[in-house]
Amino acid sequence: MTLAIDGGTPVRTAPMPTVLDASGRTFGAAEAAAATRAIASGALWRVTGTEVAALETEFADYIGASHAVASTSGTAALHLAVAALDVEPGDEIIVPPITDFGTVIAVLACNAVPVFADVDPVTGCLTADSVRACLSERTRAVIPVHLFGGPAPIDDIVALCRPRGIAVIEDCAQAYLTIPSGGASFAGTRGDIGCFSLQQSKHISAGDGGLTVTDNPDFARRMRLFADKGWPRDTGERTHLHFGLNYRMNEMVGAVARVQLTRLADVVAARRAVARRLVAELGALPGLRLPADTRQHSFWLFPILIDLPVGNGDFGKALAAEGITANAGYLDRPVYLTPALTERRTYGTSGFPLTSPPARREFTYAAGDCPVAEKLIGRTLLVLDCNERFTDQDVTDIVTAVRKVHEHYAR
Ligand SMILES: *Cc1c(COP(=O)(O)O)cnc(C)c1O
């Protein structure tokens, strides 16, 4: 069969459901009623309203943490987590190179240095070994990302870090209800702090928003203060106990997020069902490697590794021509190769905090820093959409298109 990219008939011409609009989202009448309720209350501010406080309690209970602090984005949620550690300028925080820039923004915003550890060639996540190779006497924290909803080996990383007094902040922006190996509890509760996003494309959303969870009451208090200008609302004093920002979530967002939380289990179950079909129907194709486990993973996206004469870019273009959204590499480049880091565009022309002092040495970033990540992005990783609104026919079309493109290129 001629590929659509070579002039053949595409498998599909109708658009697939997408997280970018209602077709692939679960916003309904209950969300509309919740937003209306918040507006009708006249208190759109979390300090005098009730919705955001209720969301925090409900989310902490749901995930299995003692405390949750709401904020305005996943990036803010991560910033709160790093701020909770009160790091010194120039301290180092280990991060993966395949992630949203928000992971790194949180580090730079605390005047800390992002140190990029390479990733596992299959999962794209940090490993205990890759983290160990990057430790220094200035390492204060590690931020493993559960990439695409696939579990990072968080218990191994915690076992490495805890005896050394290094904090583990889980970036769970893509990983609601992911269950890492080594237990039954959710990602976000295995490390010291867990960070979630409510941005448009995440499993549940309120447009933008963030949630940070922890069992540590000192971290929780510091994060609460940091999100509210360092202002201790509980004492009635108008004072500022330390530097902070205004990351307060508003009541409309909180009200919508509360409803979304009630849909989360169904969203993840539906995505796992899609993934199970994809694994069952595509798993045997030689040269394609699919996620091994469909119970721990929460499938924000569905990653495929390609080991064929053709690379991820051409395979992805051919799939797109068949009408199936496919993202080769997920990122255009590892995060450390974006100009913000290669050109050290942080604060004016200072290069701070990547300079020495405050860092123990000058930090620069260049191609070759993390070869495994570079190969994933440039050659092997292909990411397919996974969505709770996919119909059986949508999944059938994905299977048909992948088989068609595979047959062409595997010859
Ligand atoms: C989305 C995302 C973030 C940032 O979340 P925002 O809400 O967009 O600020 C951080 N880390 C990862 C891994 C993400 O996917």
How do residues 94-126 score in pLDDT, each as one tens digit? 999 999 999 999 999 999 999 999 999 999 999
Whether the link from the prior residue into 357 is cis, omega within 30° of 0, is yes
pLDDT of 386: 97
CA angle 288, 291, 295 (to 5 degrees): 155
Distance of CA 163 to the CA centre of its chain: 26
* 202 in active site: yes
> Do the bridges between strand 193-197 and strand 210-214 make them parallel or antiparallel, or are there none, so unpaired?
antiparallel
The answer to whether 335 and 119 are in contact (CB under 8 A) is: no
Output DSSP code: residue 349: T
156-172 per-position pLDDT tens digit: 999 999 999 999 999 99
Contact present, 78 and 106 (Cβ < 8 Å): yes
**Sheet with 139-142: strands ordered across:** 67-71, 210-214, 193-197, 167-171, 139-142, 92-95, 113-116
Asked whether 323 and 14 are in contact (CB, 8 A), the reply is: yes
Q: What is the pLDDT of residue 167?
A: 98
pLDDT in tens, 172-209: 999 999 999 999 999 999 999 999 999 999 999 999 99
Structure tokens at 62: 């749901």
d(CA 250, CA 382): 37
Which protein residues touch ligand 1 with a CB less than 6 Å away?
73-75, 99-100, 102-103, 145, 171, 173-174, 197, 199, 208, 210
pLDDT range class, residue 1, cuts 50, 70, 90: confident
Which residues are paired to 193 by β-bridges? 169, 214
Q: Is the pLDDT of residue 236 over 90?
A: no
Percentage of the chain modeled with pLDDT above 90: 98
E strands, 59-171, where? 67-71, 92-95, 113-116, 139-142, 167-171
User: How many angstroms does the Cα of residue 197 sit away from the middle of ligand 1?
Assistant: 6
- The residues with which 303 forms a beta bridge, in sequence order, are 383
In Å, how far from its chain's centre is CA 237? 37
For 336, half-sphere exposure in the C-beta direction (CA atoms, 13 angstrom radius) is 22
Q: Is the pLDDT of residue 259 over 90?
A: yes
**How far is 62 from 53, CA to CA, in rounded Å?**
14
Q: pLDDT tens digit string along 15-47?
A: 999 999 999 999 999 999 999 999 999 999 999
Q: Whose CA is nearest to atom 6 of ligand 1?
A: 74
Question: What residue ranges define each of the domains in the chain, with the CATH number in brackets?
Answer: 29-260 (3.40.640.10)
Q: Are 377 and 331 in contact (CB under 8 A)?
A: yes
Question: Is the pLDDT score of 56 beyond 90?
Answer: yes
pTM exceeds cut of 0.85: yes
> Which is it for the CA torsion 68, 74, 75, 78, positive or negative?
positive
For 92, the 3-state DSSP assignment is strand
Could you tell which of 197, 249, 335, 383 is best to mutate to test the pocket of ligand 1, judged by most ligand atoms within 8 Å of the CB? 197
Q: How distant is the alpha carbon of residue 192 from its chain centre?
A: 17
